[in-house]
Amino acid sequence: MEVGNYANVPINRGMDKVRESPKILPLVGVSFLLVCIVQSALHIYFWQQQVGLSKVFNVSECNATLLSENDIREQAVKENYVEEMSQLKQDKAKLRKENNQLKQEKTNLVQEKNKQLENEQNLKNERNQLFQERKVLQDDNNKLKAMHQENEERMKRLTEENRKLQDQISTCEITASLPHLPSTPECPPVTPPVCSQGTLPECPPGWHTLKGSCYWVSCEQSTWFDARTRCESNGADLVIVNDETELSFLSSVVGTSSTWVGLYVRHDIFSQTLVWVDGSTMTFRPNDHFYDGTSQESCTSMKSSLYYSSICYQTHGWICEKKLEKTSYLRT
C-alpha cells in the first residue's frame, strides 16, 4: 500500500501542481502554438525558397535553352545568308557571262546581217548589170540579124547578077570564038587589063599562075563586096590563101598596098567564125589576133604578108583566083 501510495505520490503531486498552476497551461499552449506557427512559417519560407530557386534555375535553363536555340537559328540564318549570297554571286557571274555571250552573238548576228545585206545589194547590182548587158546583147543580136538578113539579100542579088554576068560572058566567049562575027555594043571585045605583067600560056592574058591557079591583081580600088562581084563576073572569086608559098607569091605581086582577100567573118547568133569564100574555115594563119571581134570589121585585107581586119565598105585593091580549067577573059 505504501509502495503504491509512494508511486502514486508524484503523480498526484504533479496533478496537484497542474491544478495549482492554472496560469502555466495557457502559456504553454500559446508557446506551443507559436512554435507551430514559427515552424509552419519556417516550412513555408523554406518551401518558398526552394520553389523560388527551382523556378530561377528553370528560368535560367529555359533562357539558356532559348539563347542556344536563337544562336543556332541566327547561325543557321547567317550560314544560309552567306550561302545564298555566294550562290547569288555565282548566278550573277554566270548571268554576266551569258549576257556577254549574248552581246557577242548579237554583234555577230548584226555583222552577218550587214554582210548579207551587202551581198544582196551586190547581187542586185550584178543583176541590174546583167540585165543591161543582156539588153545590149539583144540589141547587138538584133543588129546582127538585120545585117545578116541584109547580107543574105545582098548575096542573093549578087548571085543573080553573077548568073547574068556568067551568061553574058558565055555569050561573049562564043562570040569571040567566031571571028567572022563582028562585035556588038551589048558584047564588046575582051581586052586584057592594062596592069598585066608576066603571063603564062595556061592562064588568060593578064593573069598570074601558081600551082594550077590563075591570079589577077586589080588596078582599081573597091569595096569587098564589089571586088568579089568583079571576080565572080570573070569566073573567079577572091583569092584563098592556103599556105606560106602562096602568101609569099601574092605578097610579091601586091607589094605593100592593102588588098582584099577572100576571108571574112561569118556571124552566127552565138558565134563568129573566120571562113573563106568557098565556105572552108581558116587553117593557115600568117599572124594571130588580127580580128578584134567587132561586127563592123568583118572583112580581111592583106598587106606585106600580114592580114588585117577591115570594114567591108572600105575601098582597097583585090586579087581574083580561079583554077586553070576555068578559063575566061577578064572584062574591063
b/e 39-57 (16+ beta carbons within 10 angstroms → b) = eeeeeeeeeeeeeeeeeee
pLDDT of residue 108: 94
Confidence at 315, pLDDT banded by 50, 70, 90: very high
Amino acid at site 62 = C
Specify whether the CB–CB gap between 319 and 328 falls below 8 A: no
Pairing of strands 299-303, 237-238: unpaired
Name the more confident of 64 and 285.
285
Q: What secondary structure does DSSP assign to 285-320, as a single string?
A: -SSSS-----SS--EEEEETTEEEEE-TTS-BEEEE
Residue linked to cell 557571274: 93
Which pLDDT band holds residue 148 (cuts at 50, 70, 90)? confident
pLDDT at 144 over 60: yes
pLDDT number for residue 99: 92
* Cα separation, 251 vs 270, whole angstroms: 34
pLDDT of residue 223: 94
Place of cell 609569099: 248
User: Cell numbers 570594114 label which residue?
Assistant: 311
* pTM score, whole prediction: 0.39
Q: Checking DSSP bridges between strand 299-303 and strand 317-323, what pairing results, if any?
A: unpaired
Q: Residue 180: what pLDDT?
A: 36
* Alpha-carbon distances of 225 from 17, 147, 222, 251, rounded to whole Å: 196, 14, 8, 22
**Whether the Cβ atoms of residue 224 and residue 328 lie closer than 8 Å to each other:** no
Q: Note the pLDDT of residue 121.
A: 93
Which residue shows C-alpha cell 513555408? 44
User: Which of 185-189, 236-240, 241-245 has the lowest average pLDDT?
Assistant: 185-189
Please, what is the Cα angle at 241 between 237 and 243, to 5 degrees? 155
**204-237: per-residue pLDDT in tens?**
888 888 888 899 999 899 999 999 999 999 899 9
Q: How many CB atoms lie within 10 A of CB 226?
A: 17
48 three-state secondary structure: helix
Of residues 268 and 37, more confidence is placed in 37
Q: What is the structure's pLDDT at 47?
A: 74
Q: Helices in the chain by DSSP H: which ranges?
A: 2-20, 24-177, 224-232, 244-254
Q: What is the pLDDT, as a whole number, of residue 188? A: 40
CATH topology of domain 190-323: Mannose-Binding Protein A; Chain A (3.10.100)
Domain locations along the chain: 190-323
3, pLDDT greater than 50: no
The reported pLDDT for the residue numbered 325 is 61
Averaged pLDDT of the chain:
75
